[in-house]
Structure 1
Amino acid sequence: MIDWEHSMRGSIAIVGSATAGIGDAGGQTDLEISSRAIHAAVADAGLEMSEIDGLMTASLSSSMWVVKLAEYLDLRPAFSDSTQIGGASFVGHLLTAAAAIRAGLCRNIVIAYGATPRGGNSVSATSPARAKLDPFPYEDPFQPFNPPTSYALAAMRHMHEYGTTRAQLAEVAVSARRWAQLNPEAFRREPLTIDDVVGAKMVSSPFTVRDCCLVTDGAGAIVVTSSGRAADPRRPPVYVLGTAVAHHHRQISCMPDLTVTAARESGALAFRRARSAPTEMDVVQLYDAFTINPILFLEDLGFCPKGEGGRFVQDGRIAPGGELPVNTNGGGLSCVHPGMYSMFALVEAVRQLRGECGERQVPGAATALVHGNGGVLSAQATTVLSRER
């Protein structure tokens, strides 16, 4: 019997990556900037578009997005997938990509995402229409301001249960901004202090606007192939050692424990598949839609005990020069967030492991964890990446 659990370890590699239209895309559409990112990623991999026979993507605004994007690219993929689990989708796609390539369904897969909410082709504008098709029956009567209201519930519960402070939440945003100041691609690079975060306009208590992710344009893409075909790429390959997905609610009112996410399951399984551990990670890219997210994920992924996340991020521990480099591009809080973020966390991890990050480069980075989050702490996806197979 084949041991699929371990035979997939290191079976695929990321050989190309790129972004396009970060920040304000100047009126370009989601299709245009997605195409730019895909063509750049394929070129980065040393491939031609004619060699791409797999396409994986997801969208907040189109139910047949993979078909629409393939049409725009003039691709006829042998394999395609548009699994949509929110911002966790693109990390989760790596698991399906490994299975598809292992099964011989395709050879070279592009995983991509792009949206332009700032440029007029707005993800936000589709929210009312989507809400009618995707109702939250236990919550809609109370007219929450989602997603901030749902994440604020988790933050308030964590503060109540574990003594997490307002300043500790703000520390997450300040650390992200310090990384963004080293990243020319980041949308927000001006100085930010804890007082700035706490004193900003209130959105949903305890969150101010500086606790919430940006609304930017942006597209990203990666090219995935088998490790055997990645032996001689244009750039050093980044191997996918282990990926896992978990989810257990859609509405925040159905979350079993507001302080414990399904990252506990996805992280444990990803580390087991990778035969690795949190202590072996050189860089960590976490979906930071709100400042509570990295605190919860650092706990649930095993970087610190439950309830210690607030104290863990204090004193610049996850900022440049800190003990654990987290969200080295500036994250969704300061770099880019066009509706869904995890694609950009993947691109940043690849760049760090290739040593391409310039002033923000983490010296000797050889391993990376990327964690995606979808919905209201609903779907979680974790992957472990490495320079070595």
Structure 2
Amino acid sequence: MSGLGLNAQAASRAIANAGLTPDKIDGLLTAYSFTEPYFMLGSVLAEYLGISPTYSSSIVAGGASPTVMLHHAAQAVNSGAAKYVLVCAGENRATGISRDDAVSALAAVGHPYFEAPYGLGIPSLYALVAKAYMAKYGTTREQMAAVAVNTRNHALLHPNAHMKKPITADDVLGSKVISDPLHMLDCCLISDAGGAFIVTTPELAEELPCEPVWLAGIGEAHTHEHLTSAPSLTEFGAAQSGQLAYSMAGLGPQDMNLAMLYDCFTIVPIIEMEELGLAPRGEGGAMFASGDAAVGGRLPVNTHGGMLSHAHAGAVGGLMAIIEAVRQLRGNADKRQVTGAEAAIVHGEGGVLSSHCTAILTKQKR
């Protein structure tokens, strides 16, 4: 399927799941695409879907785009700019472009003058962060490997996950080195995938036949674009965006029943877990290694398998985290269901830990 086709399929399913028809959609937010040749992707998607929204935009905040789109959609319905905002993303990144083209496209993340000319790619930039974080906080390669194993175990419980083969920590540590200390199995997938959800007001949601999930709090923080300009290699914006979300929701880290954390590389959810207060500094890796982040553990993380094992196609990876949180809070996660799930924290990050957005979703209206 094309990227637009994946968007359309996900959008149609989300609209139907909400009990709506396409003519009711008056807001549309989408992200970006490396596989589609369109400049105004939001307008093209509206044209493709046959809808005429009065509120529409394409958001480009890297992997943080889906949670940022959730934020903007909430602002749109609260302000009256739209009643029903469709948020979607989709790309055929595995089959729509070659590996060389994918690498070339992703090179845009590096600074065009001070990073890209020296051959720095995304894995190398995240490897710099990993090395610095390991040196400062004592995170180990074994703990990072446990992140990959945890997400793979969850993906095995998901009927639509990209990866279906069990792995061990030794498999991760023994896989091909990509950029030290990151090995092949420390790196996210390249998939064909699409996802979508609908945002509306509490009043309109209560009129729909589906069970709503409530956005209790959300916050953003944007600290840099290029890693050479980052304020730090070990302190990022998740702490700030998380605090904004906690404050709005009137909840804290101790109230979360599950966490959906952006996991483009195994070091990233460890950093996010610690910055979001879900684990003390230097102890996030131990949570994964101990089993506390598994379904049935103290705080299950990425119960669908994350971008390391479920799917990752540009902005879609982070959007899948929101979808999984909704399914968990609705009690529709089947074998991977977290017992008593009442509150979920979702965190997206874009660039190289550059743009951050944290959302807190709850089962009950607050």
Partner residue of 1:148? 123
Q: In the alignment, is residue 319 of structure 1 matched against residue 274 of structure 2?
A: no
SS at match of 2:335: helix
Mapped contact 1:29–1:121 kept (Cα < 8 A) = no
Partner residue of 1:204? 179
Q: CA deviation at 1:159?
A: 1.1
**1:124 to 1:239, Cα distance in 2 relative to 1, 3 A:** farther
Partner residue of 2:193? 218
Q: CA deviation at 1:351?
A: 0.5
SS at match of 2:246: helix
Partner residue of 2:16? 43
Partner residue of 1:97? 73
**CA deviation profile, 1:174-226 (whole Å, cap 9, x unmatched):** 00011111111111121110000000011000011100001111000001110
Identical residues among aligned pairs (%): 42
SS at match of 2:220: strand
Q: Give structure 1 stretches of 5+ with no counterpart.
A: 1-27
Partner residue of 1:193? 168
Q: CA deviation at 1:121?
A: 4.7
Q: In the alignment, is residue 371 of structure 1 matched against residue 358 of structure 2?
A: no
Q: Please tell me the residue identity of whatever aligns with 1:248.
A: T
**1:88 to 1:182, Cα distance in 2 relative to 1, 3 A:** same
* Distance (Å, rounded) in 2 between the aligned partners of 1:82 and 1:127: 23
Q: Give structure 2 stretches of 5+ with no counterpart.
A: none
Mapped contact 2:109–2:122 kept (Cα < 8 A) = no
Q: Please tell me the residue identity of whatever aligns with 2:89.
A: Y
Q: CA deviation at 1:282?
A: 0.8
Q: Please tell me the residue identity of whatever aligns with 1:51.
A: K
Mapped contact 1:243–1:273 kept (Cα < 8 A) = yes
* Distance (Å, rounded) in 2 between the aligned partners of 1:234 and 1:358: 21
* Distance (Å, rounded) in 2 between the aligned partners of 1:388 and 1:328: 20
**1:131 to 1:295, Cα distance in 2 relative to 1, 3 A:** closer
Partner residue of 2:240? 265
Partner residue of 1:75? 51
Mapped contact 1:178–1:320 kept (Cα < 8 A) = no
* Distance (Å, rounded) in 2 between the aligned partners of 1:133 and 1:167: 28
**1:305 to 1:132, Cα distance in 2 relative to 1, 3 A:** closer
Partner residue of 2:253? 278
SS at match of 2:112: coil
Q: In the alignment, is residue 240 of structure 1 matched against residue 215 of structure 2?
A: yes
* Distance (Å, rounded) in 2 between the aligned partners of 1:105 and 1:358: 36
Q: CA deviation at 1:316?
A: 1.3
Name the count of aligned residue pairs: 361
Q: CA deviation at 1:339?
A: 2.0
Q: Please tell me the residue identity of whatever aligns with 1:60.
A: S
**CA deviation profile, 1:269-290 (whole Å, cap 9, x unmatched):** 0110111111101111011000
Q: Give the alignment partner of residue 55 of structure 1, picking from 28, 32, 35.
A: 28
* Distance (Å, rounded) in 1 between the aligned partners of 2:194 and 2:203: 28
* Distance (Å, rounded) in 1 between the aligned partners of 2:98 and 2:255: 40
* Distance (Å, rounded) in 1 between the aligned partners of 2:329 and 2:102: 36
Mapped contact 2:191–2:313 kept (Cα < 8 A) = yes
Q: In the alignment, is residue 85 of structure 1 matched against residue 61 of structure 2?
A: yes
Q: Please tell me the residue identity of whatever aligns with 2:201.
A: S
Mapped contact 1:117–1:123 kept (Cα < 8 A) = no
**CA deviation profile, 1:264-313 (whole Å, cap 9, x unmatched):** 11000011011111110111101100000110000110112222222232
**1:207 to 1:133, Cα distance in 2 relative to 1, 3 A:** closer
Mapped contact 1:92–1:381 kept (Cα < 8 A) = yes
Partner residue of 1:252? 227
Q: CA deviation at 1:131?
A: 4.8
**1:274 to 1:205, Cα distance in 2 relative to 1, 3 A:** same
* Distance (Å, rounded) in 2 between the aligned partners of 1:133 and 1:252: 9
Mapped contact 1:65–1:82 kept (Cα < 8 A) = yes
Q: Please tell me the residue identity of whatever aligns with 1:45.
A: A
Partner residue of 1:11? none
* Distance (Å, rounded) in 2 between the aligned partners of 1:336 and 1:129: 19
Mapped contact 1:248–1:262 kept (Cα < 8 A) = yes
**1:80 to 1:134, Cα distance in 2 relative to 1, 3 A:** farther
Point out the more displaced range, 309-318 or 70-79: 309-318
**CA deviation profile, 1:39-80 (whole Å, cap 9, x unmatched):** 110000000000000000111334311011111111110101
Q: Please tell me the residue identity of whatever aligns with 2:337.
A: Q
SS at match of 2:135: helix
* Distance (Å, rounded) in 1 between the aligned partners of 2:11 and 2:99: 20
Mapped contact 1:123–1:339 kept (Cα < 8 A) = no
Partner residue of 1:118? 94
Point out the more displaced range, 270-279 or 114-123: 114-123
Q: CA deviation at 1:101?
A: 1.0
Q: CA deviation at 1:94?
A: 1.8
Mapped contact 1:30–1:121 kept (Cα < 8 A) = no
Q: Please tell me the residue identity of whatever aligns with 2:325.
A: A
Q: CA deviation at 1:140?
A: 2.0
Q: Please tell me the residue identity of whatever aligns with 1:237.
A: P
Mapped contact 1:136–1:251 kept (Cα < 8 A) = no
TM-score (norm 2): 0.95
Q: Give the alignment partner of residue 338 of structure 2, picking from 337, 362, 365.
A: 362
